[in-house]
Copies of this chain bind each other. A is one copy, B any other.
Amino acid sequence: MEERNISQAVIRRLPRYYRYLGDLLENEVERISSNDLSKRMNVTASQIRQDLNNFGGFGQQGYGYNVKYLHTEIGKILGLDNTHNFVIIGAGNLGQALAKYVSFEKRGFIIKGLFDVNPRLEGMSIRGIPIRKMDELKNFIKDNNIEIAVLTIPKEKAVEVADMLVDTKIKGIWNFAHTDLKLPKHIIVENVHLSDSLMSLSYRIGHQGRKMPQD
Q: How far is the CA of A78 from the CA of B100 in the complex (A)?
A: 33
Q: Which B residues are in CB contact (< 8 Å) with A93?
A: 96-97, 100-101
CB-based contact B203/A79 at 8 Å: yes
Question: Does any Cβ of B come within 8 Å of A143's Cβ?
Answer: no
CB-based contact A147/B205 at 8 Å: yes
CB-based contact B84/A94 at 8 Å: no
CB-based contact A6/B207 at 8 Å: yes
Q: Which B residues are in CB contact (< 8 Å) with A60?
A: none
Name A173-191 residues within 8 Å CB distance of B.
174, 178-180, 182, 186, 188, 190
Q: Which B residues are in CB contact (< 8 Å) with A11?
A: 200, 203-204, 212
Q: How far is the CA of A210 from the CA of B2 in the complex (A)?
A: 12
Partner of A15, one of B14, B80, B171, B193: B193
Known: A93-B97, A96-B93, A204-B172. A8 touches B214 (CB 8 A): yes
Partner of A6, one of B23, B100, B103, B210: B210
CB-based contact A84/B172 at 8 Å: no
Q: Which B residues are in CB contact (< 8 Å) with A6?
A: 207, 210, 212
CB-based contact B202/A79 at 8 Å: yes
CB-based contact A9/B188 at 8 Å: no
Question: Does any Cβ of B come within 8 Å of A69's Cβ?
Answer: no
Known: A19-B196, A94-B101, A103-B195. A190 touches B204 (CB 8 A): yes
14 pairs, A vs B, C-beta closer than 8 Å: A3-B207, A3-B210, A5-B211, A8-B214, A11-B212, A15-B197, A19-B179, A19-B196, A23-B179, A93-B97, A93-B101, A148-B205, A172-B202, A174-B198
Residues on A facing B (Cβ under 8 Å): 3, 5-9, 11-12, 14-16, 18-19, 23, 41-42, 77-80, 82, 84, 93-94, 96-98, 100-101, 103-104, 107, 109, 147-148, 171-172, 174, 178-180, 182, 186, 188, 190, 192-208, 210-215
